[in-house]
């Protein structure tokens, strides 16, 4: 894997780190502050919401490259939609995807799509999320999402789950994403 990453960089290709994340009713803050001798109470209907899955790609050059949301989980079709979004902004000769060994990434449909569109993919070694910086990006995005969602609920609003997630994804600081990617590349991948 490290040799493949080095070769891609040597040929001037941008590494786009890809992963999926789930946002569910459990994507809530589990701690908070309230006034002295006050308890925070929430209505169940304000807290419950459908699960959303997101597939995204980040790079040290551009930050958040693209993302695709889908109810439930990411399947081959959703992953290919995400790849089409990537292709809209760059030629496949300009980037290489770095992904984990999720079953969707190895599906026959996705393999055919990658080959037909000349998209190169490098698979991370199993059980090594520390090599994929999007894992750290997801943790930061989830924290922002939890705070924004809880704030809306405490204000008595029922936030639109998908709209709120899109807002967080689009407004997340790109410099932070680039920094996380660059730091991971320098400390883990550039050996």
Q: Which domains does the chain have, with CATH numbers?
A: 2-189 (3.30.420.10)
* b/e sequence 13-25, b meaning 16+ C-beta within 10 Å: bebbbbbbbebee
**Total-model pTM:** 0.86
For 24-83, write each residue's pLDDT tens digit.
866 454 555 556 666 655 555 544 557 899 999 999 999 999 999 998 889 999 999 999
Which alpha helices (H) appear in the chain, and where do they start and end?
2-10, 44-47, 76-89, 108-116, 134-154, 161-171, 174-184
For 91-119, write each residue's pLDDT tens digit.
888 999 999 999 999 999 999 999 999 99
């Amino acid at each position: 894997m490290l040799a493949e990453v080095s070769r891609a960089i040597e040929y001037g290709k941008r590494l786009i780190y890809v992963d999926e994340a789930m946002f569910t009713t459990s994507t809530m803050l589990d701690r908070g502050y309230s006034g002295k001798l006050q308890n925070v109470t929430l209505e169940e209907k304000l807290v419950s919401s459908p699960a959303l899955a997101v597939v995204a790609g980040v790079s040290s050059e551009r930050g958040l490259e693209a993302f695709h949301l889908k109810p439930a989980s990411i399947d081959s079709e959703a992953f290919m939609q995400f790849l089409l979004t990537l292709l809209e902004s760059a030629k496949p000769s300009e980037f290489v995807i770095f992904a984990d060994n999720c079953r969707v990434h190895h599906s026959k449909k996705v393999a055919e799509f990658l080959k037909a569109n000349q998209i190169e993919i490098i698979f991370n070694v199993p059980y090594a999320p520390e090599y994929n910086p999007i894992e750290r990006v997801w943790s930061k995005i989830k924290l922002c999402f939890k705070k924004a969602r809880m704030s809306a609920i405490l204000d008595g609003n029922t936030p639109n789950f998908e709209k709120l997630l899109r807002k967080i994804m689009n407004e997340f600081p790109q410099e932070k994403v680039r920094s996380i990617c660059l730091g991971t590349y320098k400390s883990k991948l550039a050996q």
